[in-house]
Structure 1
């Protein structure tokens, strides 16, 4: 049941770090990398993907499954505190942006995928296609 998931971090940049001394997370924003942390579980019947997406609105999360790839895209608008315009912000971490993840999950029955979003966690259940019980041996001519 082992499955190859797409690597979240691009190995090319790890190699560049070694060659040119770039910081390892040159292109990672700390807040963005904390979003969309995922756990993927697999059984004989399905895959279950749980993704942390705190602060997202359900309407701003978009899922797509095509060619064995589950894509999860989300966007978030900036949080603006306009209650007192005389205050100076001394520290700001909440920003707007777009995040996405791809997961290679083959042999899924696409029209039976189920997703729910509860307490900042997106749970996607992807049922697997039933294994073909016919004989898979191939005769050589």
Structure 2
């Protein structure tokens, strides 16, 4: 996962959030918080990675890496991420992580078989929402 994260800056045109979600769905562990700076300028990718944590880690390592114009464009996302640092996550999010942990490396395949509405399956698979709750 760390290698994929470092490659984000080399190939910004591909959708890193898709790769990160797939890696997490197949059992990859969340990246170390200090590695988040590599995708700070990719809010959709950062959202996927932050949603892999039970608690949003400190933003000290990545907040200064965000370009001012990008911050302005995605202010709602970045503000929501900052407001959730070291705050308890919603029970809904913790339940998502518990289900994902139970499914392990077969999360993507198993989620498609669960008798859940499509929106809930998307939520389980860390689909981008544009904010951190």
| Structure ranking higher in strand proportion | 1
How does the TM-score come out when normalised to structure 2? 0.26
Could you state the TM-score of these two structures normalised by the residue count of structure 1? Answer: 0.25
Q: Which has the higher contact order (CA 8 A, sep 6+)?
A: 2
More helix by share: 2
